[in-house]
A = this chain, B = another copy of it.
Amino acid sequence: MENQDLKSEKKFKEYFNLANSSRNFSCPVRDVVAHVSDKWSLLVVYALAGDGTLRFNELKSKIGDVSQRMLTVTVRKLEQDGLVKRTIYPEVPPRVEYQLTSLGMELLNKLVPLIDWAQENSNLIISSRKKAAKY
A residues neighboring B (CB under 8 Å): 5, 8-9, 11-13, 15-16, 18-20, 23, 26, 28-35, 37, 39, 42-43, 46-47, 49-52, 62-65, 79-83, 103, 106-107, 110-111, 113-115, 117-119, 121-126, 128-129, 132-133
Contact = CB atoms under 8 A, between A and B. Distances in A.
A12 B47 CA distance: 7
Most buried by B among A9, A28, A50: A50
Given A29-B122, A80-B133, 10 more contacts: A11-B50, A12-B49, A18-B119, A28-B119, A28-B123, A30-B42, A32-B121, A37-B37, A107-B117, A110-B113
Contacts of A123: 28
Nearest to A132: B80
Contact of A16 (B26, B31, B46, B110): B46
A33 to B, nearest CB: 6
Contact of A81 (B11, B13, B34, B128): B128
Contacts of A52: 5
Contact of A65 (B23, B31, B106): B23
